[in-house]
Structure 1
C-alpha cells in the first residue's frame, strides 16, 4: 500500500536524524521534536471507551500510525480518508517490535454510523472515532497516534533536490493526461531520465494503469500493481541514494521540515524520547508483521451503500490481532494464527505472516 511506504520513508529519515541529534544530547532532540504539530484535544487517552472491552499491558505500547491523503489545492479537496492504518507495537515484555496493518476496506461497525469501511471512520468523526472503531471491533487499547500526510513524501523529495527517475513514454503520457500530478503546472514531464520534483514524484508513484496503446508501461515491462510497487521502490531507492550522500546535519534539517509540516501526534516529547530509549535497549532490528484481516476469515464483495469491501468475521480478526500483539514473542519462527478455543465457530485453518527485517 502506497501510504505505508510514505510512512516508512518518513520514519527512516526521522529516526536516523533523531539518532544523530541524540548523540548531541537531549536538548537537541527536544528542539527537533518541538516542531511537531500537537493536538492534545484529540488525545486518545480522552476517548470514551465505556462499554467497550479492550486489552492492554503495561509492558506493551501500541501506537496508531495513520497515513492521511488530505489534499486541498487549486480547487481540489480530499476529505482525509485514512487509507493506511497501522498499529506499531513496542513489546518490552517479549523484546520484540511489531507492525499490524489494518486494511482500509474492511467492513466494520462504526459507533453511531453503522456498518462501513474502516477508513470512513476518520471522515465521520476524526481520529477519536477511528480509535473507538478499532477498539470496538478489535478490542485493542491504543496509547497514542501519529498522523502523516501525503505531503510528507513531496517535502522529502523537494528537500533532497528532487529524484532521478527514467520515465517511459507511457508513464509520461499518463502523468500529463491525468490529475496524478498536482498542481497542473507540473504536468509537463517527458520520456527519458529526469529529476522529478515532489509533486511529480508522488504522481509517478501512484501510477497503476497506463496510457492506451503506448508500451512499455515501465522500463521493466511491469503493469498494474506490480508496476506501481516497482515505481515506489525505484523512487524510494533514488531518495535514499541522495540522502546517503548528504551530511547528517542535513538529515536533521529534512527531519525538522517533514515533522513541522506533515506530522501530527498526541504523544508528548517525554513519551517519544522514552520510546526511542526502549527501542535502543531492546537491541533488535527485526519488525514482525501481521495483516488484518487474516485468511480465511473474510470475503470480498459488494455491499449496498458501501461498495466493494471485505466482510470480516470479527471474532477471529480480534482474536488474531490480540494473540499477535500480546502473546507472540517472535522467537519461534513466523506468527501462525490458530483460533483460540473461546472463539465461536472454531476452525482448524491458520494464517501465516513472515517477519520483515528493518532496513
Structure 2
C-alpha cells in the first residue's frame, strides 16, 4: 500500500515537473522574443540620426496616412555618376499592410511613356531627373492613381554593403548567359553564388534578350532572396550595422516606427512570401518609337490601373512574368 502511495506521489511530481518545465520554456521564449524586439527598438533609436538627403530636389509630399492604413514606399536606385540630372536605374514600390502584415513589391518599367507634370510626355524615369523623388511620386499618382507615402533611394555602394552584411555567404542565382557589358564585372553562365558587387551587376545588367524585362525579373528575384536571408536571429544581431549603412547610403523619409514595424514582421515571418508585380502587365502595352525619346512603352493605363488594384487587393495572380 505504501509502495502504491509513493508511486502516485512520484507520478504527480513528474507531471508537475513537466508542467513547470513547459512553463519555463514558454517564459524563456517570450522573454527572448521581447528582448529581440527591444533590441531592435533600441538599435533604431541609437542609430536614428538624420539620413543622407538629396540636394536640389523638391520636398517630398507623400500622401497622409494613419497607423492602420496600408503604406506605399517608393524604392529607387540611382545610376548617378555625379550628373546634376541623373535618371533612376530602378523604380519600385513596396506595399505594406499593417493589418495582414503582408509586403508586396511592384516594379515599374522606366521606359513607359507617361505624362510628367510640367514636362509633358516623357519616359517614367525622366521624372526623377527633372524633380527627384517628389516629381516621380506625382507622376506615378497621375498616371496610375497610386498614392505614395514614403521614399527610399539607395546608393549602389550601399546596396553592395547591405548584401554582404545580410548574406555573407552570398546569394545563389542561375545566370542564363555571360554578363559583363556595362556592369564593371564579369559573370559566367550557370549557377553562381554572388556577393555584393557581383549581385549588383546581376540586377543592373540589361543587354540581354529580355532587355529591361529581364532586369526587373532579376531585381525581384534578388530582393525576395535577400528577404529570406533577413529572417534569422543573425540579422537581428546585425541590425545596428545595417541601420548604420542606411544612414550613410540611403536617402529616405521613413520614420523609425515604420521601419521597426516592418522589420518585426519580416524577422518573425509574419509577412510571408514576397508577392511581386510589374507595370505594365503583359498584354497592356506596345513598343513604340517617339522622336526625341527613342524606344518607349505605350501603355494602356486603364487596364494597368485595374490590374494593379486587383494585385493590391489580393484578387489577382501575384507575378506577371
TM-score by length of 1: 0.58
2:74 paired residue number? 65
2:46 paired residue number? 31
Structure 1 residue matching 2:104: 3-state secondary structure: strand
Equivalent positions of 1:24-173 (< 5 A) are 24=39, 26-34=41-49, 36-37=51-52, 44-45=60-61, 59-72=68-81, 77=83, 79-92=85-98, 96-156=102-162
Residue 180 (structure 1) aligned with residue 153 (structure 2) = no
Aligned residue pair count: 283
Contact 2:102/2:270, CA 8 A, preserved across alignment: no
Structure 2 residue matching 1:37: 3-state secondary structure: coil
1:260 paired residue number? 247
Structure 1 residue matching 2:86: 3-state secondary structure: coil
Counterpart of 2:37 (choices 16, 22, 25) is: 22
Q: Which runs of 5+ in 2 are unaligned?
A: 1-33
Q: Which runs of 5+ in 1 are unaligned?
A: 1-18, 48-54, 182-186, 211-222, 337-351
CA distance in 1, matches of 2:71, 2:86: 23
Contact 2:288/2:296, CA 8 A, preserved across alignment: yes
Shift in CA distance, 42/266, structure 1 to aligned 2, threshold 3 Å: farther
CA deviation after TM superposition for structure 1 residue 228, in Å = 7.8
Contact 1:66/1:82, CA 8 A, preserved across alignment: no
Shift in CA distance, 90/154, structure 1 to aligned 2, threshold 3 Å: closer
CA deviation string 1:22-78 (max 9, x = no partner): 34262222223436435799553368xxxxxxx989743232332323343xxx758
CA distance in 1, matches of 2:105, 2:217: 22
Contact 1:56/1:140, CA 8 A, preserved across alignment: no
Higher CA-based Rg: 2
TM-score by length of 2: 0.64
Shift in CA distance, 162/260, structure 1 to aligned 2, threshold 3 Å: farther
CA deviation after TM superposition for structure 1 residue 93, in Å = 5.1
1:316 paired residue number? 303
CA deviation string 1:316-354 (max 9, x = no partner): 2223323433xx2x4xxxx43xxxxxxxxxxxxxxx444
CA RMSD of aligned residues (A): 5.0
CA distance in 2, matches of 1:286, 1:163: 20
